[in-house]
Amino acid sequence: MSKTDTDTSRDREELGAAGSQLSTAPQEEQTILPGLGVTGWARWFWRQLTSMRVALLLLLLLSLGAIPGSLIPQTGADVSKVEDFRAAHKTLAPVYDKLGLFHVYSSVWFSAIYILLFVSLIGCIVPRTWQFVGQLRGRPPGAPRRLNRLPAHTTWRTTEDPERVREAALALLRKRRFRAHVVGDAVAAEKGYLRELGNLVFHIALIVLLVAFASGQLYKSDGTKLMVEGDGFSNALPMYDDFKSGSLFRNDDLVPFSFDLKDFKGTYEVSGPNRGTPRTYEAKLTYSKGAYGKERSTTVKVNEPLKIDDAKVYLVSHGYAPVITVRDGKGAVVYHDAVPLLPLDGNVSSNGVVKVMDGYRDPKGKKEQLGFQAFFAPTLDTRSGTMLSQFPALLNPVLAVNAYHGDLGVNSGIPQSVYQLDKKHMTAFKDAKGQLLKKLLKPGDTMTLPGGAGSITFEKDVKEWAGFEIVQEPGGGWALTGALAAIFGLAGSLFIQRRRVWVRAVRGADGVTVVEMAGLGRSESAKVPEELGDLAAILYDQAPGAPDPGDPAATPDPQAVPAEGAEK
């Protein structure tokens, strides 16, 4: 081997050492299949699982796996929609059942991807973190033997002593927030550690997000409650109309609080193309935290929930509850209450039922039950020829009712909706013409039942109801923190560059000091040559150039000898 080949090999080794550890990314190694045995295969599997390539693949699979959870009805969100899907797709539904597509986020395959991604991130981050800590505790490596082999470099001659040049370079680099120290005849400096820190923060933030989302799903609770003005609510399981929770949720995890709905107010556009569009929905509440908490007043609006510890109370729906009074044939009141009716359209045309289950006797004194179907229009325009409301506010409220008597079926033990009337064992009241008894009632009007069976009155008081969703997601704060940390960490890893600078000052054979400066970055960038040029210009002012031996009148420029491709 020639001396030139030996020097070239040595230069490569030194340049490799100078550029080593500019990142904490694991070095790619040649894949070697493990030998036979459990230990060998386990080691090989672990290396594959903790590689960044596999982590990105798992993250992609997790994103793809979430798509059916957004497109296909989920049992955890709406069971009725799932049942409707099963009824409409007899062939496809069994396939979805086997694949777990009706409960994607709790399925085995989605959980497997989730857990593997979690383990992969931890296995990737831990060694990189220790390596980064080791780099922070260490010092930048010494200068390569030939700095002119680096991508960005410059050199000049000066009459200043080498020691003074190195001291000036050390002070300059430290002033520019480089970590710098003297190694032999050169100053070694490094900057941009926040790039690797940002990279680690980004990956750790992903773990925080995974943990936060997992805990949120396992310990969350989500329930709804319909409340008429004047009603109260206590955060206990029996008070909910509908309730679902995570697999690790316990009833004791409910935040103790209560609130009363004092008033509900909605305003609407009264003219123009957006006539009838809601402008504001406001629910005035009084609430207290705990069993003996101080009572406070607040107003809940759309997207402005009431927050009590980990619980949030959202305003999600609205409607009307006409006050209905039912009397028997003797004039005794057997029912008096505000009846919530469910909206059918944007103008709050609503329907529902009134069930008189106890206390009523027919004209012969026999115990019986009454049922009324009700349709309500807050603003009825009789000129339109339709029963649909023309505006969502109470401008001309009208209640249409028809009546039935018999057995409502509420004592059969079979659950039924409070908004539907089971007519299997009911008989309709008829009018004098033998037709179904029905009537349009305005506030204060009464419909008399035939044969002295009693009456139903639409009272002048029309209350409003509000639907609330009470949500508890314990991991919400951690998820937000993780998301913000991931954004800042990713920004740091993208916009901060890790780079090194070396300054060598040695006395030449003619007694004049030769200054060499070179820079090296983790990736090709114009920032390293530009920064090196700025540093060289400042140092040149402190160690001015000396004339070249062959041209005494010449004054060298420290930026006149850049590396190939370097911008000076």
Residue 128's pLDDT is what? 84
Residue 387 in tokens: 């029963």
Mean pLDDT score across all residues of the chain: 86
* Beta strand extents in 184-247 (DSSP E only): 186-191, 221-228, 232-234, 242-245
DSSP letter (8 states) at residue 113:
H
The tokens 């944007």 sit on which residue? 346
Amino acid at 366: K
Using an 8 Å Cβ cutoff, are 250 and 474 in contact?
Answer: no
Residue 554's pLDDT is what? 43
pLDDT in tens, 254-313: 999 999 999 999 999 988 888 889 999 999 999 999 878 899 999 999 989 999 988 999
DSSP letter (8 states) at residue 90:
T
pLDDT in tens, 350-385: 999 999 998 899 888 899 999 999 999 999 987 766
pLDDT in tens, 241-261: 989 888 888 888 899 999 999
Amino acid at 312: K
Amino acid at 270: V
Using an 8 Å Cβ cutoff, are 305 and 315 in contact?
Answer: yes
Residue 187 to residue 181: CA distance in whole angstroms = 6
238: left (phi over 0), alpha (psi -120 to 50) or beta: alpha
Sheet holding 232-234, edge to edge: 232-234, 257-268, 278-289, 296-301
Highest mean pLDDT among 431-435, 494-498, 534-538: 534-538
pTM greater than 0.85 (yes/no) = no
Question: CA–CA distance from 159 to each of 164, 173, 225, 509 (Å)?
Answer: 10, 21, 86, 13
Query: What is the domain class of 142-191+497-542 according to CATH?
Result: alpha beta
Residue 188 to residue 325: CA distance in whole angstroms = 91
Residue 497's pLDDT is what? 86
Residues in the chain: 568
Residue 553's pLDDT is what? 46
pLDDT band at 568; cut points 50, 70, 90? very low
Task: Enumerate the β-bridge partners of residue 307.
Answer: 312
pLDDT in tens, 65-112: 889 988 898 887 777 788 889 888 888 999 999 998 998 888 889 889
Greater pLDDT, 334 or 213: 334
Using an 8 Å Cβ cutoff, are 500 and 192 in contact?
Answer: no
- pLDDT at residue 555 tops 50: no
- pLDDT at residue 10 tops 80: no
Residue 422's pLDDT is what? 87
Using an 8 Å Cβ cutoff, are 137 and 30 in contact?
Answer: no
Residue 496: burial class (beta carbons within 10 Å; 0-12, 13-18, 19+): middle
